[in-house]
Structure 1
Amino acid sequence: MPSSVPQPLPPLAAIRAFEAAARHQSFTRAGEELGMTQAAVSYQIRLLEDRVGVPLFRRRPRGVTLTADGARLAERAGEALEILRQAFAEARHQGDETLVISALATFAAHLLAPRLGHFQIAHPEVTTRVEVDHRLADLLAGEASVAIRAGLGEWPGLRADFLMPVRYTPMLSPSFVARHGLPATPAALSDLPLVDPDDPGWAQWFATAGAMAPTSVKGARSYLGTQLLAAQAVIAGQGAGLLTPVYFLDQLARDELIQPFGILAEDAISIWLVYPERRRNAPAVRAFRDWLLGEMRSLGMRGGPADGPAGDVRSSSS
Structure 2
Amino acid sequence: MAVRPPSLRAIAAFEAAARHESFTKAADELNLTQSAISHAIRSLELRLGVDLFDRYGRTVTLTEAGRAFVSRLRLSLNLISEAFEAPARPGRTRLVVAATAGVAERILAIRLPAFLARSPDREIELRTVTSAAEVTAGEVDVALLYGAGACAGLTQRRLAGEALFPVAAPTLDLPRRPEDLVRAPLIHQPEHPWRLWLEQVGLAELPTPATLTADSPLAALELARGGAGVCLTRGLLADEDLRTGRLVRLFDAQAILREEYTAVWNPASPRADIIRPFVDWLASVLEPAPAPVLHAA
Q: Into which bin does the TM-score normalised by the smaller protein fall?
A: 0.7 to 0.9
Q: What residue in structure 2 maps to residue 183 of structure 1? A: 176
Are 2:88 and 2:94, in contact at CA under 8 Å, matched by a contact in 1?
Answer: no
Distance in structure 1 (CA, Å) of the matches to 2:208 and 2:88: 59
Three-state SS of the structure 1 residue aligned to 2:109 is: helix
1:225 pairs with 216, 229, 236, which one? 216
Q: Distance between the aligned counterparts of 1:208 and 1:12, measured in 2?
A: 60
Residue among 269, 285, 289 paired with 1:298: 285
Deviations 1:192-230 (A, max 9, x none): 221116655311111110112433515x3322412x322
Secondary structure of residue in 2 paired with 1:215: coil
Q: Pairwise mapping of residues 121-132 of structure 1 onto structure 2 (< 5 A)?
A: 121=117, 122-124=119-121, 126-128=123-125, 130-132=126-128
2:260 equivalent in structure 1: 270
Q: Does 1:11 align with 2:3?
A: no
SS of 1:118's equivalent in the other structure is: helix
Shift of 1:152: 3.6
SS at match of 2:278: helix
The answer to which of 233-242 and 149-158 deviates more is 149-158
Letter in 2 for 1:105: A
Q: Name 2:36's counterpart in structure 1.
A: 40
Indicate which of 218, 243, 248 corresponds to 2:233: 243
Q: Residues 69 and 231 (structure 1 numbering): CA distance in 2 closer, same or farther, change over 3 Å?
A: closer
CA distance in 2 between counterparts of 1:132 and 1:52 reads 35
Aligned to 1:113: 109
How far off is 1:170 after superposition? 0.8
How many pairs align?
Answer: 282
- Measure the CA separation in 2 of the matches of 1:33 and 1:277: 30
Deviation digits for residues 289-313 of structure 1 (CA, Å, limit 9, x no counterpart): 5324413313436xxxxxxxxxxxx
Extract unaligned runs of 5+ from structure 1: 302-318
Residue 18 of structure 1: how far off its partner (Å): 3.3
Structure showing greater relative contact order (alpha-carbon pairs closer than 8 Å, 6 or more residues apart): 1
- CA 183–34 in structure 1, closer or farther in 2 if over 3 Å, else same: farther
- 2:212 partner letter: R
Matched, 1:254 2:244: yes
What SS does structure 2 have at the residue aligned with 1:195? strand
Q: Which amino acid aligns with 1:43?
A: H
Q: CA deviation at 1:231?
A: 1.9
What is the rounded CA distance, in whole Å, between the counterparts of 1:77 and 1:12 in structure 2?
A: 13
Task: Tell me the SS of whatever aligns to 1:269.
Answer: coil
Aligned CA distance change for structure 1 residues 95 and 274 (closer, same or farther; 3 Å): same
Task: Give unmatched runs, 5+ long, in structure 2.
Answer: 289-297
Distance 2:33 2:266 in 1: 26
Q: Distance in 1 between matches of 2:133 and 2:25?
A: 13
2:97–2:124 contact (8 Å) kept in structure 1: no
Contact 2:13 2:26 in 1 (8 A): yes
Letter in 2 for 1:45: I
Matches of 1:62 and 1:189 in 2, distance apart? 60
CA contact (8 A) 2:131 2:148 kept: no
Give the TM-score of the pair, scaled to structure 1. Answer: 0.70
Please say if residues 56 and 66 of structure 1, whose CA atoms lie closer than 8 Å, have aligned partners that are also in contact: yes
Q: Distance in 1 between matches of 2:275 and 2:50?
A: 38
Is the contact between residue 157 and residue 263 of structure 2 (CA under 8 Å) also seen in structure 1? yes
Q: 1:22 to 1:259 in 2, by over 3 A?
A: same
- TM-score between both structures, scaled by the size of structure 2: 0.74
- 1:82-139 residue CA offsets vs partner (Å, 9 max, x unmatched): 69749x949x9956676554432332223211222234442555352x3446x55851
2:186 to 194, 205, 208: 194
- What CA distance in whole angstroms lies between the structure 2 residues aligned with 1:25 and 1:235? 47
Cα separation, 1, equivalents of 2:30 and 2:155? 25
* Alignment root-mean-square deviation, CA: 3.8
After the TM superposition, which residues 299-314 of structure 1 pair with which residues of structure 2 at under 5 Å, given as runs?
299-300=286-287
CA contact (8 A) 2:78 2:139 kept: no
Cα separation, partners in 2 of 1:76 and 1:252, compared to 1, 3 Å: closer
